[in-house]
A and B are shown apart, each in its own frame.
Chain A
Amino acid sequence: MSGRVIVITSGKGGVGKTTTSANIGTALAKAGNKVVLIDTDIGLRNLDLLLGLENRIVYTIVDVVEGRCKLKQALVKDKKNPNLSLLAAAQTRDKSAVSEEQLKDICEKLKKDNDFILVDCPAGIEQGFQNAVAGASEAIVVTTPEMSAIRDADRIIGLLAAREEIESYKLLLNRVRPNLIATNDMMSVEDVVELLACDLIGIIPEDTGIISSTNKGDPIVNDEKSLAGQAYRNVARRIMGEEVEFLNLEEDKNFIGKIKDFFEKTIKEIKAKI
């Protein structure tokens, strides 16, 4: 088996890299793939919290590279899905505790028995980013429809494009609010894609459910009713090579919008009859 190593990065902080990692990882594992999530945000780890695995961590990636344990011992199995495991970052150290070669080595080893290795990258373009990207051959760039996030994503795409090892990079547009796009208060998906000139792999709508799911340590893909969960499941299917249409977020109209639609449709029908 030779797994795919995908780095999830953004440049800017707070756009949803870790949430995306946790959700895509969970969705891929739910679809039957063997998945390892690597948290490379040493010193500011969060991925364990989002997965609700903090209480199970005994060894971290730093213990692995410093030889205090074997790689296998440091992998924390997910509560719900045995296909998913986490290699946690150390909280008590910093980015310099791990080198690019060491991360590359870990990814190579994990490739042997896993379908997917998702690397959650820290914010920034320094050592942490360089480490996270080192072992990857694919990248997902997470951004939100805001100028600052797009500027940083552009910078990241430039850095990724300059690396030979990165065979493909895709854009994931997070926290999209269709009602704001409709009133021209938010950049549309098309605008972002045009600005960044990069293929899309997913559009995730803003979802308040993310807040409680993050606090509870239960990724939102586990919630069948959530639209954001659905969007993340679709991203996972696209990663697996399926053709999946993007969710039509416009459908998510408010009550008045629906009534308006209904009247317009009826009037059209009446006119057609006359």
Chain B
Amino acid sequence: MDNGSVENGFIVDLSNAKNTSQLIYELSSILDLPEARNKKICLKLGDTDLNQSQLLSIKALIDSMQGEIGLIDTASAQTKAAAENLSILVSELKNEVEVEPEHQATQEEIDTVLGIVTTVDENNEEKQENIPLTPIADFSEVAEAGGLILNGDSKYVMMDTTGILPDEQKNHEENPESLPTLYLNRTLRSGQTISYEGNIFIVGDAHPGSELIAKGDITVWGILGGIAHAGAHGNVNAKVRALKLNAIQLRIAGLYARRNDTYNVPYVQKSNEFTPEVAVLENNSIVIYKKLRRDE
């Protein structure tokens, strides 16, 4: 196995793919992401057996999506041999990210910036454990609302509510885990409001025009399109989670963010591929993480 490193890399983990067609499907949906453009794609193929022509078509797919194949990580001898025949670098993937000292980034953010260098450094076991739980790709994104901007236009912008909201509300920190949870298995439609002194968990979509107001967290196992207010009594630890965060407004404690006018939500979500998103309060602004990793 070669030693080497790839700069400006982008790791795509396909080790969970059950067959070649699923693998290619997942890969193409990931390469669609703006984050993957002009990157050296590093593929984690697990123990999938690929022959030379299959590997060649994957290479062609990456080329066609303005990418470049950096290296592949495989446990399969057949794949390894095929890659070597095509002179594709085969290596074991390790994540090494350089973090600027003044920027105290979380692990999610680190993955966001994704300056990935791969080496065959065996001492790096710790980082290896942090690999996402059910990964397709090892990426996560900070969409932001007033904080970090990755792709130019942000999805949310903070609202200036001075003079609009009363400032009597005191912020406090509370662990939402200690609160009761309302569990609903339904679609929330326009005009419907769910207000609860605890956490709200909805299996289904919350349509535009609906309202969710919770003392604790709001989690929507579906598309969130209405207004969501987590930590409505001022709990700054509250979060809003959804498979797709399209909320017209996101409110956490006393902070409000509105969806950016330039952000276009498709009339119908055609894709069945979701990247769960979570909105949290950070430094007086609502920040959205797209993530595949579970909260610690």
- List residues of A whose CB falls within 8 A of some B CB: 43-44, 52, 54-59, 69, 73, 79, 91-92
Instruction: Report B-chain residues with C-beta under 8 Å of the C-beta of A43.
Output: 191
Interface of B is mostly: loop
- Of the candidates B161, B191, B259, the one whose C-beta lies within 8 Å of that of A92 is B191
CA distance A58 to B192 in the complex (A): 16
Instruction: Identify which of A44, A55, A57, A73 contacts B261 (C-beta below 8 A).
Output: A55
Instruction: Contact check, A52 vs B261: say whether CB atoms are below 8 A apart.
Output: yes
Residue of B nearest to A57 (CB): B249
- Which chain B residues have a beta carbon within 8 Å of chain A's beta carbons? 159, 161, 163-166, 190-193, 208-209, 211, 248-249, 256, 258-259, 261
| A54-B208, A54-B248, A58-B164 known, 5 other contacts, Cβ within 8 Å | A43-B191, A52-B261, A55-B249, A56-B258, A92-B193
Separation in Å of the A194 CB from the closest CB of chain B?
41
Q: Tell which of A52, A55, A58, A79 touches B161, judged by Cβ atoms closer than 8 Å.
A: A58
> What's the least CB distance linking A40 to chain B, in Å?
16
In the complex, 29 of the A-B residue pairs with CB atoms within 8 angstroms, ordered by the A residue number, are A44-B191, A52-B261, A54-B208, A54-B248, A55-B248, A55-B249, A55-B258, A55-B259, A55-B261, A56-B159, A56-B258, A57-B249, A58-B161, A58-B164, A58-B165, A58-B256, A59-B164, A69-B166, A73-B163, A73-B164, A79-B261, A91-B190, A91-B191, A91-B209, A91-B211, A92-B191, A92-B192, A92-B193, A92-B211
Which 4 pairs of residues, A with B, have the shortest CB-CB distance?
A55-B258, A92-B193, A55-B259, A91-B209
User: Chain A's interface: helix, strand, loop or mixed, by majority?
Assistant: loop
Chain A residues near B193 (CB, 8 Å)?
A: 92
Inter-chain contacts of B259 with A (CB < 8 A) = 55
**What separation, in Å, do the CA atoms of A137 and B163 have in the docked complex?**
32
Q: Return chain A residues, CB-CB under 8 Å to B165.
A: 58
Chain B residues within an 8 Å CB radius of A73? 163-164
Report which residue of A44, A57, A58 has the largest number of chain B beta carbons within 10 angstroms of its beta carbon: A58
- In angstroms, how far is the closest chain B Cβ from the Cβ of A26? 16
